[in-house]
Chain A
Amino acid sequence: MATHFVIEGLKAAIDGKEILKGINLEIKGGEIHAIMGPNGTGKSTLASALMGHPKYEVTEGTAVLDGEDILEMGVDERALAGLFLAMQYPSEIPGVTNSDFLRSALNARLGEGNEISLIKFIRKMESKMKELEMNPEFAHRYLNEGFSGGEKKRNEILQMMLLDPKIVVLDEIDSGLDIDALRIVSQGVNAMRSEDRGFLIITHYQRLLNYITPDYVHVMMQGRIVKSGGPELAQRLENEGYDWVKEELGIVDETVGQA
């Protein structure tokens, strides 16, 4: 069955404050969707609500991946169902080596009885790290501890490559990356494009979309998708900024939840 992910009427709140005001979005395998929007418009909230961050309370709506509402699942079950979120701010976990973590995650994904052998795992991890031009030393470092912003982002992409998810959400994967790193990370993403994998790329710069061409572009403001189009929409936002969108829709303050 081809991957099919449908978000319908998704509303979510933080500390009782509603941030997402009804998101509708459909992503099919093979498609790349981009969500753009200024800071504070609810983009990361969407990503976190989908993944199941404990601070974010979903108050309404569904997010159905291949027939199952992931919003009914625990965080780990969502991951095992095929959802992957490359986080804007990945956690640092002292004392846990990157490779121990990656192997635990991969084995969880493969399921009991199908665990990968240590040798095979190391080979696989090392080849992916090479693709991402990561220093092999990062396998033995504690997870994200003392990693620069760019190193953390590469490590997120490394996890995506190893875990082979169906739906990939990339939250500001381009922030903190120099041009070289941006190219490497984009190559990693492009290499993962496939008919049974869908992408949701969150960014507030058009820059990333020069490397990863989206099929659909959505603009988020006030916790809603207020405008959708093709790649040309991203181009226009790059050239003209967001003011014309606000004007067109009569929006004065595009942010949400900042009383």
Chain B
Amino acid sequence: MSTQLTTPTNRQAAEALARSKGEPNWLVELRGESAELAGTLGWPKPEKVRIERWNLTAVGQYEQPATVGAISELPEVVRELVTEGTENLIVQRNSGIVWNQFANEYASKGVIFTDLETACKEHGELVQKYLFQAVAKDEDKLTALQSAIWNGGVFIYVPKNVEVELPLQAIFYNDNAEATFAPHILIVADNNSRVTYVDCVVSEPGAGSAPFVHPSVVEVFVKPGAHVRFSSIHHMGETGVDMSIRRAVIENDGQMEWIIGDLNDGNTLSDTKSILKGTGSTSDAKVISVGKNAQQNSLTTQAVHFGKSSDSNMVTRAVMKDSASAIINGITKIEKGATKANGVQTEKVLMLSPKARGDANPILLIDEDDVTAGHAASVGQVNPEQVYYLMSRGISKQDAERLIIYGFLAPVVSEIPVEAVRGQLQSLLQRKLEG
């Protein structure tokens, strides 16, 4: 079996494409090396999910879309996600950016918010310093492949002491299964800065479309005293495979917040990790997922503590319908020397059908004595006592179950800081739960 069969790119192709797009030499080189690595490395091996059985190689071909002149020209599926009146919006369609707008007010303070391809050309030095530094290109076939083929994407840089009040928004959508769809998001929040980023990943592949893969990588650098809020909702169709790797590196007193809505209809690998490097660094990760039909989900959250008095909290809640499955891994690792660190995690799965499957695997790996850590996990079905109680007040069985299911997800949904995102998530949840 030749490597080309299992790896849909090679050095020549990756370099040729990069050159044809006018990318800087360092990036051409990075892509070429990565393509070669992708040919030799193996796919990631998440617990209890055989992702090699998914269609992982349908990454398609690069296809540059035409940009649009106004938000109104974007398709309905995108327009309904645009936060009303926003001036800070990037939209990627298939392989490239079609809309890129940023308020002058922030640009004049030195904030950069643009697509990553443009950033590589215009802010090459800055980008090069961080790109594939939180996630290494040679971790596995997925990271190498992403490094070789990523396109569009987002770059955010917030200078020291600057606070970006309004959320910066990105929407990634796919309406051509044959096109490579691999955004890379890179966020650098310099000392004592503050920023909120929200994105959505959606697809509209049309009836009978071919399978496609969405390999994506998110890297966030939280410098001392900075505060980054990151929220991402994925709602791709059944034929899409989502493989999303997210990583934050947090320095002294930095704060990282993750909110992840894994609401795809297709197979999903989602891995969100915080590296708490600095003293007093904190991370809070909240993940919700709803699975239906025969969908498989591998959902991982991780916190690695190096910093003293660092603090992490991870919550995952998943609702599985039909014969969907969710394997949920929570890994809290506290390294030697991370005294007074605290790491807490909770994973819960609610199964709505006898064929649904859920598995919660909390793991604490602790190499330091002077720490606190805790975990809770549960997998179960809707409690008939609770349904009875609600029905005894005249509420129908269907409404009773609905209240209980939404209640189960409430600890994540109600905590979402950006109201527009909360609203979006609620309506997507409703669509998926009741659709």
Q: Which residues of A contact B (CB under 8 A)?
A: 51-54, 74-76, 78-80, 85, 87, 90-91, 93-96, 100-101, 104-105, 108-109, 142, 159, 163
Please state if B391 and A100 are interface contacts (CB–CB under 8 Å). Answer: no
Judged by a CB distance under 8 angstroms, whether B365 is at the interface is: no
Which among B384, B391, B410, B411 is the interface contact of A76 at CB below 8 angstroms? B391
In B392-415, which residues have CB < 8 Å from any A CB? 392-397, 399-400, 403-404, 406-411
Please state if B388 and A93 are interface contacts (CB–CB under 8 Å). Answer: no
B6 → chain A, closest Cβ, in Å? 44
Please state if B397 and A74 are interface contacts (CB–CB under 8 Å). Answer: yes
Please state if A104 and B395 are interface contacts (CB–CB under 8 Å). Answer: yes
Judged by a CB distance under 8 angstroms, whether B390 is at the interface is: yes
Which among A53, A79, A94 is the interface contact of B393 at CB below 8 angstroms? A79
Which A residue's beta carbon lies closest to that of B400? A76
Which among B385, B397, B404 is the interface contact of A96 at CB below 8 angstroms? B404
Chain A to chain B contacts (Cβ below 8 Å), 7 pairs: A51-B388, A79-B392, A79-B394, A80-B394, A101-B403, A105-B395, A108-B393
In the complex, A87→B388 CA distance in Å?
11
Interface of B is mostly: helix
Please state if A93 and B390 are interface contacts (CB–CB under 8 Å). Answer: yes
Which among B388, B390, B411 is the interface contact of A101 at CB below 8 angstroms? B390
Answer whether A76 and B395 are a contact pair too, CB < 8 Å, given A54-B388, A90-B389, A101-B390. yes
Answer whether A91 and B395 are a contact pair too, CB < 8 Å, given A96-B403, A104-B403. no
A124 → chain B, closest Cβ, in Å? 15
In the complex, A54→B394 CA distance in Å?
15
Answer whether A91 and B385 are a contact pair too, CB < 8 Å, given A96-B407, A96-B410, A104-B403. yes
Please state if A87 and B389 are interface contacts (CB–CB under 8 Å). Answer: yes
In the complex, A252→B258 CA distance in Å?
64
Q: Which chain B residues border A104 with CB–CB below 8 Å?
A: 390, 393, 395, 399, 403
Answer whether A93 and B404 are a contact pair too, CB < 8 Å, given A76-B397, A108-B396. yes
Which A residue's beta carbon lies closest to that of B404? A93
B399 → chain A, closest Cβ, in Å? 6
Q: Which chain A residues border B399 with CB–CB below 8 Å?
A: 104, 108
Q: Which chain B residues border A51 with CB–CB below 8 Å?
A: 388, 392
B136 → chain A, closest Cβ, in Å? 39
In the complex, A154→B389 CA distance in Å?
16
Q: Which chain B residues border A163 with CB–CB below 8 Å?
A: 393-394
In the complex, A177→B101 CA distance in Å?
62
Which among A94, A142, A159 has the highest number of chain B CB atoms within 10 Å?
A94
Judged by a CB distance under 8 angstroms, whether B104 is at the interface is: no
Q: Which chain A residues border B40 with CB–CB below 8 Å?
A: none
Q: Which chain A residues border B408 with CB–CB below 8 Å?
A: 94-95
Q: Which chain B residues border A96 with CB–CB below 8 Å?
A: 403-404, 406-407, 410
Answer whether A105 and B393 are a contact pair too, CB < 8 Å, given A53-B388, A91-B385, A91-B386. yes
Q: Which chain B residues border A75 with CB–CB below 8 Å?
A: 388, 391-392
5 tightest A-B CB contacts, nearest first: A95-B407, A95-B410, A105-B393, A79-B394, A91-B389
Please state if A94 and B407 are interface contacts (CB–CB under 8 Å). Answer: yes
Which A residue's beta carbon lies closest to that of B317? A95
Which A residue's beta carbon lies closest to that of B413? A95
B350 → chain A, closest Cβ, in Å? 11
In the complex, A90→B393 CA distance in Å?
12
Please state if A95 and B406 are interface contacts (CB–CB under 8 Å). Answer: yes
Answer whether A85 and B391 are a contact pair too, CB < 8 Å, given A74-B397, A93-B403, A142-B407. no
In the complex, A94→B346 CA distance in Å?
15
B36 → chain A, closest Cβ, in Å? 49
Please state if B389 and A100 are interface contacts (CB–CB under 8 Å). Answer: no
In the complex, A159→B390 CA distance in Å?
11
Which among B392, B399, B408 has the highest number of chain A CB atoms within 10 Å?
B392
Q: Which chain A residues border B383 with CB–CB below 8 Å?
A: 91
In the complex, A95→B392 CA distance in Å?
19
B290 → chain A, closest Cβ, in Å? 15
For the complex with contacts A52-B391, A91-B388, 16 further pairs of A-B residues with Cβ separation under 8 Å are A75-B391, A75-B392, A76-B395, A79-B391, A79-B392, A85-B392, A94-B407, A95-B411, A96-B403, A96-B407, A96-B410, A101-B403, A105-B393, A108-B395, A108-B396, A142-B410
B254 → chain A, closest Cβ, in Å? 30
Please state if A100 and B403 are interface contacts (CB–CB under 8 Å). Answer: yes
B379 → chain A, closest Cβ, in Å? 16
Please state if B394 and A105 are interface contacts (CB–CB under 8 Å). Answer: yes
Q: Which chain B residues border A93 with CB–CB below 8 Å?
A: 386, 389-390, 403-404, 407
In the complex, A108→B388 CA distance in Å?
15
Q: Which chain B residues border A95 with CB–CB below 8 Å?
A: 404, 406-411
Q: Which chain A residues border B406 with CB–CB below 8 Å?
A: 95-96
In B251-300, which residues have CB < 8 Å from any A CB? none
In B130-160, which residues have CB < 8 Å from any A CB? none
Q: Which chain A residues border B388 with CB–CB below 8 Å?
A: 51-54, 75, 91
B377 → chain A, closest Cβ, in Å? 15
B316 → chain A, closest Cβ, in Å? 15
Q: Which chain A residues border B386 with CB–CB below 8 Å?
A: 91, 93
Q: Which chain B residues border A74 with CB–CB below 8 Å?
A: 391, 397
In the complex, A74→B411 CA distance in Å?
31
In the complex, A170→B395 CA distance in Å?
20
Please state if B393 and A159 are interface contacts (CB–CB under 8 Å). Answer: yes
In the complex, A163→B390 CA distance in Å?
13
Q: Which chain A residues border B392 with CB–CB below 8 Å?
A: 51-52, 75-76, 78-79, 85, 87
In the complex, A54→B408 CA distance in Å?
22
Q: Which chain B residues border A85 with CB–CB below 8 Å?
A: 392
In the complex, A51→B392 CA distance in Å?
7
Which B residue's beta carbon lies closest to that of A159? B393
Please state if B394 and A76 are interface contacts (CB–CB under 8 Å). Answer: yes
A180 → chain B, closest Cβ, in Å? 26
Please state if B403 and A76 are interface contacts (CB–CB under 8 Å). Answer: no
Which A residue's beta carbon lies closest to that of B409? A95
